[in-house]
Structure 1
Amino acid sequence: MKMSRKTISGVNAGSMADIAFLLLIFFLVTTTFTEDEGIRGTMPSPCPEGVDCSSDVAQKNIFSIQLNRNNELMANNETISVDKLRESVKAFIDNNGDQSCEYCNGVKKVDMSDNPQKAIISIQTDREASYDHYIGVQNELVGAYYELREELSKTKFNKTVEELTEEELTILKESYPFRISEADLNQ
């Protein structure tokens, strides 16, 4: 049979849409997405009805950190580098000013925190401060708490934090609770 010159040869693309759709479904089903954790934080529990939750906090129990728009860091009204922040925070939290903490190793200064349960870290960040510097401050604060917990774990349980049971981890968290307050300078 003779082919006509008017017929156009080509590839049958009728099933191409079906194949593309099947490939799309395959990749959607088999792909895993990682979740960003972000900065962990917990909101305080609501005040129970009939209880006065507005208590005054002694100024000596507040470690004030300020990060300004120029990314300059001040801790308790003294300019400080991010590298030295962790040791300053650890000394403040572990101070044991009222000598009620049996596991604390602080220097017992009367003008610093009474004990880890009363120590509060207050962060004030300017809106124009860089996100990298803010995260650096957060890392140092979390690092300070984890180092204090690790030291207590070694002395109290003779284990690393990774080897502890849930009950022992709860004891560490209660011994050195995260008490971090954030406020905005541009309110």
Structure 2
Amino acid sequence: MRLSKRTPQLNAGSMADIAFLLLIFFLVTATISSDEGINRKLATPCPPNEDCNLASNNRNILRIIINNDDNIMLGEDVVLLENIKYEIKTFIDNNGDNTCSYCNGKQAPHASDNPREAIIALQHGKQTSYKRYIAVQNELTKAYHELRLQYCMKVLDKTYNQLNETDLKQIKEAYPFRVSEAETK
């Protein structure tokens, strides 16, 4: 009897199928992280042949500056991150011109005329950390959220879950989110 010196052949036809199935399995089960950002509505660009300079009273602009050392400044004063929300709420809800029937402000001369006129001018240095910038943005969002929630309870006499589209529009008109990151003069 003769012995063959040939090695047996493996059928590699199904190997490609198995590799393909493993690839599909890992693509389906793997989680792909998605980048998230800050949900903000950007200002519309200025139409050609129109003057788009901001004609606002200086009193209605709250300047928040985050310098290169991550210090937060309101005007010329350095403030703590924990105090930003209170300062923003006090500025926006001031009722300086006495036209706001729902405002709780004390009509301070250094704060805004009313919430519809209030503008938050946020600026940051080139070396400002992203973490500090986001922390200030979060405090800004919290301030507006609390003011809108207060309006919801006081004026509309509803909880946030009971609101309809008309109510939400009314709240956004009462406390419009007006934040500018353009350089102010």
The answer for unaligned runs of 5 or more in structure 1 is none
The answer for unaligned runs of 5 or more in structure 2 is none
TM-score normalised by L of structure 2: 0.87
Partner residue in 2 for 1:129: 128
2: CA distance, partners of 1:134 / 1:109: 28
Q: Aligned-pair distance for 1:31?
A: 5.7
Q: Deviations over 1:12-65 (max 9, x none)?
A: 433212211133234435666564431011122345677644342111111001
Q: Aligned-pair distance for 1:3?
A: 4.9
Does residue 43 of the first structure (1) align with residue 42 of the second (2)? Answer: yes
Partner residue in 2 for 1:90: 89
Q: How many residues align structurally?
A: 184
Question: Equivalent residues in 2 for 1:1-187 (5 A)?
Answer: 3-4=3-4, 6-9=5-8, 12-29=11-28, 33=32, 35-47=34-46, 52-183=51-182
Q: Deviations over 1:76-133 (max 9, x none)?
A: 2110011000000000000010011110000111221000111000111112111100
Match of 1:79, SS state, is strand
2: CA distance, partners of 1:33 / 1:157: 42
1: CA distance, partners of 2:157 / 2:8: 80
Aligned-residue CA RMSD (Å):
2.4
% identity of equivalent residues = 47
Q: Would the alpha carbon gap of residues 47 and 128 (structure 1) be closer, same or farther in structure 2, given more than 3 Å must change?
A: closer
1: CA distance, partners of 2:57 / 2:142: 25
> Aligned partner of 1:42: which letter?
K
TM-score normalised by L of structure 1: 0.86
Match of 1:183, SS state, is coil
